[in-house]
Amino acid sequence: NVGFGEAISKQFVDALETGQDARAAMNLHNNEAGRKAVKGTMQRTCKCHGVSGSCTTQTCWLQLPEFREVGNYLKEKYHRALKVDLLRGAGNSAASRGAITESFSSISRKELVHLEDSPDYCLENRTLGLPGTEGRECLKKGKNLSKWEKRSCKRLCGECGLAVEERKAEMVSSCNCKFHWCCSVKCEQCRKTVTKYFCVKKGGQRGRNESATSRRKNLRLKKKL
């Protein structure tokens, strides 16, 4: 029952937003967009009834989509999210609350919104607690990897201007374990060489973090001159 789930979602999630400022309005708007995303991606499923496989009667219903399908839909919405420009701290007066309501009312309830631009997750930002992607391990090859996992090196390294470095490492693990009466399990120590992949700076090039820092220094020097 989608209607029941939607009602419970409003009671459970929206109830957390007790403020009247811009951030609370943003969260409530995005909560509603999430609920509409679930309803908008529902699929019509039908089943035939009849003698010898005939379809004299058909029963149809709306079925919830796969969780990943909803996630992919919201990801596209996230990349096209609309920025709402409001004064920081707006919502402390009746006038500002009215301005907030007016700003959000003009945006479709199916669209996601944000108040501030996202930081560059490729770069290290200790203030925000972002480690950046340089030095991160990624997945490229291996059994039972999903297509998303196989693309992790491209997303973590390639899209951040970094190269992928292949490293060999020796792993030690327990193997050939046997149960001995009574009562212990004894194992051998097996060694095997595995291949791991890491994001590194491209040869002879500076990373994005270093380049950004240099650009800021150059700008400051130009201003002084």
Q: Which residues of 178-217 are buried (b: 16+ CB within 10 A; e: fewer)?
A: eeeeeeeeeeeeeeeeeeebbbbbeeeeebbbeeeeeeee
Task: Dump pLDDT digits (tens) for 137-171.
Answer: 999 877 788 888 888 999 999 999 999 999 998 99
Asked if the model's pLDDT at residue 217 lies above 80, the reply is: no
pLDDT at residue 220, rounded to an integer: 43
Asked if the model's pLDDT at residue 224 lies above 60, the reply is: no
pLDDT at residue 94, rounded to an integer: 59
Checking DSSP bridges between strand 43-49 and strand 57-63, what pairing results, if any? antiparallel
Where residue 187 falls among pLDDT bands split at 50, 70, 90?
Answer: very high
pLDDT at residue 51, rounded to an integer: 79
Task: Dump pLDDT digits (tens) for 53-101.
Answer: 778 888 998 888 888 899 999 999 999 999 988 755 555 555 567 777 7
CB 161 within 8 A of CB 202: yes
CB 100 within 8 A of CB 22: yes
Where residue 215 falls among pLDDT bands split at 50, 70, 90?
Answer: very low
Q: What is the CA radius of gyration of the chain?
A: 27
Q: Which residues of 10-47 are buried (b: 16+ CB within 10 A; e: fewer)?
A: eeeeeeeeeeebbbbbbbbbbbbbbbbbbeeeeeeeee
If one counts every other C-beta atom within 10 angstroms of the C-beta of residue 132, the result is 19
Most confident of 9-18, 48-57, 213-222: 9-18
